[in-house]
Structure formats: structure tokens, C-alpha cells
Amino acid sequence: MLDLKRFRIIDLTREVLPGVLKVNGEYLHGREFRRFELRQFRYSPDGTFMHWIESETHVGTHVEMSAHYVDGGKSASEMPLETFIGEAVVLRFADLKPIDGKGQPIRPFHLKRVKKGEIVLMWSPYKGDEAPYISPLAARSLAEKRIKMLGVENVRVESSLNFLATHDNLLKNDIPIVEGLVNLDQIKGDRVFYIGLPLKVRGLDSSWIRAVALEEIESL
Ligand SMILES: [Zn+2]
């Protein structure tokens, strides 16, 4: 049996803060850039509490699938479950410093440690425009290595310089992309066991997930 005591569990998920419902029926949005609205109601047979949710699918930590980019592409309920579970390599880009406030490209030579068929997690300490971005050639290299999935924190999947190259290379090839990861900097080693499952909703282009990394505690 899997012994959890042998692992550190790192929560890679950003907490979603729903918009606050005001008395006039409008929602006040704080940190969330996109709509995520919860409305509590009482379930009439027994008076228990439930919520209506109104939201976009790309809020918080989410995994997007080919249905996001290709009309009729695979959606959350059609992708094999194994895609979202497995060994992941962690690539850190602290050395890829922004120049004049602009993030720099991640190139194929940065991907040397990536093995065929594994999940790739990319992290940088730079935010917004200063964050590195995936160059078109790097996106193609990830597709050629047939990675299982890409996850990012402070790494731009797209920028004005590589418009849709990552979507084109990955999503078209049924390689999902996880956006909005957090806490990748708490991973100590180069590889972890990653789990981040989408909701099983037919037709969903992208799903909110609870993503975790299991990192083996050495010295055992
Ligand atoms: Zn997204």
C-alpha cells in the first residue's frame, strides 16, 4: 500500500475567492480576474444549504484540454485519467531574468531534462510581463517529446511573440495545459508525483482542479 508518511504533500492549488454578492444582486469581484460567483440557497425538501455556481472554466488552478482550442476536441470527461497523474519533472527558470522588464523565451535547450511521456512543471519567480514565455520551438519540442501534460506557475504559455504556438502544439495533440499552479517553489527535488484531476463533465473545455505533488522524503 502507498505509505503517505514517506511523502510530503504539497498543495499546488490556488484558493478561489468567489465574488461577493451585494444586496443589490451584483457581485463584487476582488482578486479573481474572471467571474466566479456562488449563490447559496436552501434545498426545499430538507432545508439544507447548497450553491449555484456561475463561472468561467479558466479560473484559479485549471487544466485545459483540446476542447479549449479545437472545435470538437477532447473534453474533460473524454481524456484518459492517467494523463493527469504521474511522474513530473520540475523546471525552474530563476536564471531566465527579464531584460528591460520583458520576460525571456524558454528555448528547446532548456528542456534537456524532459523525458518522453512525463508531466512537465515549469516555474519562475517573475510575474506578469516579466515572466518567461514558451518559445514556439520549445512548444514544438514538448510536443515531439510527447509529454503527458504541461503545468505552469509564472511562466507564460502564450505571449504576443508566440501567439497560440503552445496551444497549437500541445492542445491539438491532446496534451493538456495546467494554468494557475502555486507553490511549485516548495518542491525541493527535480521530480515529484503529480495528481490534478479534472471534473468529469461532458463537453467541458477546461476544469478547476485540486493539484498536488507528492515528494518522496529522502533519508528513509
Ligand atoms: Zn486557461
1 CA from centroid of ligand 1 (Å) = 35
What pLDDT score does 24 carry? Answer: 75
Residue 25 and residue 86 in one domain: no
Task: Calculate how far, in angstroms, residue 207's C-alpha sits from the geometric centre of ligand 1.
Answer: 9
Ligand 1 centre distance from Cα of residue 119 (Å): 18
- CA 65 to centroid of ligand 1, rounded, Å: 9
Distance between CA 43 and CA 50 in Å, rounded?
A: 6
How far apart are the C-alpha atoms of 205 and 13, rounded to whole Å?
19
Task: For strands 105-106 and 49-55, give the pairing.
Answer: unpaired
**What's at 120, amino acid-wise?**
V
Residue 29 CA to residue 35 CA, distance in Å, equals: 8
Q: Nearest-CA neighbor of 90 among 107, 111, 109, 73?
A: 111
- In b/e form, how buried is each residue of 150-180, taking b as 16+ CB within 10 angstroms? bbbbbbbbbbeebeebbbbbbbeebbbbbbb
**Residue 162 confidence (pLDDT):** 64
Regarding whether 168 and 147 lie in a shared domain, the answer is: yes
Cα-Cα-Cα-Cα torsion 123, 127, 129, 134, nearest 10 degrees, comes to: 10
- Based on the fold, state whether residues 105 and 35 are members of the same structural domain: no
What does residue 38 show for φ and ψ, rounded to 5 degrees? -115, 135
Does residue 155 belong to any structural domain of this protein? yes
Q: What's the confidence (pLDDT) of residue 1?
A: 86
Residue 8: inside a domain = no
Cell readout for 218 is: 529522502
Q: What count of other Cβ atoms lies within 10 Å of the Cβ of residue 34?
A: 13
| Host H or E run for residue 195 | strand 191-196
Domain at 178, CATH number: 3.50.30.50
Gap from CA of 60 to ligand 1 centroid (Å): 9
- Our count of domains for the chain comes to 2
- Let me know whether 77 and 157 are in one domain: yes
Compute, in angstroms, the gap from residue 64 CA to the centroid of ligand 1: 6
Distance 48 CA to ligand 1 centre (A): 33
Q: Cα(16) to centroid of ligand 1, in Å?
A: 14
Q: How far is the CA of 58 from the centre of ligand 1 (A)?
A: 4
Query: Measured on CA atoms in the order 105, 111, 116, 121, is the torsion positive or negative?
Result: negative
- Say how many Å lie between the CA of residue 183 and the centre of ligand 1: 18
* Whether 78 and 185 share a structural domain: yes
Handedness of CA 106, 110, 114, 117 (dihedral sign): positive
CA of 98 to the centre of ligand 1 (A): 23
Mean pLDDT by 10 residues, the chain (220 residues): 92 90 71 80 92 92 96 94 97 97 96 97 96 95 97 90 85 96 97 97 96 85
Quick check: 219 and 205 in contact, CB under 8 A?
no
Residue 115 and residue 170 in one domain? yes
Give me the domain span that covers residue 166: 62-216
Do 112 and 180 belong to one domain?
A: yes
